[in-house]
Amino acid sequence: VQLQASGGGLVQPGGSLRLSCAASGFALANSAIGWFRQAPGKEREWVSSIRRGDGRTYYADSVKGRFTISSDNAKNTVYLQMNSLKPEDTAVYYCAAGRRVILSTLRMRSAYDHWGQGTQVTVSS
């Protein structure tokens, strides 16, 4: 079971990036997928999740309206489209998967069983 996060980079404020989370060894469609981020000196925080089955999406208030999470089951990949990026979005972004994630726990790191290695996003002029 492996998750591979990619797509990070350096972007100017107001720019866009699309992160990808590719899974191997299991089907993402059977799991809830979450994106978390960790800025230097800060706790890892929840950003967004997509629920298995109905594909409902959820976002932290800080990214709502700017980020979009989506999935491509044929490619076994989940994406995080990030628009209107701000310097405060700078962090290492991690994707995670969990088969027992429910609505009340999807913001919790402990609810996810598998984690990717992280990809750096830097928003700076």
Place of tokens 């913001």: 107
pLDDT at 119: 98
**pLDDT tens-digit map of 1-15:** 799 999 999 999 999
Residue of higher predicted confidence among 31 and 118: 118
**pLDDT tens-digit map of 27-74:** 877 889 999 999 999 999 999 999 877 889 999 999 999 999 999 988
Which residues are paired to 110 by β-bridges? Answer: none
**34, burial (CB in 10 Å: exposed 0-12, middle 13-18, buried 19+):** buried
pLDDT at 120: 98
Which residues are paired to 34 by β-bridges? Answer: 49, 96
Asked if the model's pLDDT at residue 109 lies above 90, the reply is yes
| Residue-by-residue DSSP string for 89-101 | G-EEEEEEEESS-
> Quick one: average pLDDT of 92-98?
96
Cβ atoms 18, 82 nearer than 8 A:
yes
> Quick one: average pLDDT of 105-122?
95
In a 13 Å sphere around the CA of 23, the CA atoms on its Cβ side amount to: 27
Q: Where are the alpha helices (DSSP H) in the chain?
A: none
**What is the distance between the alpha carbons of residues 125 and 119, in angstroms, rounded to a whole number?**
19
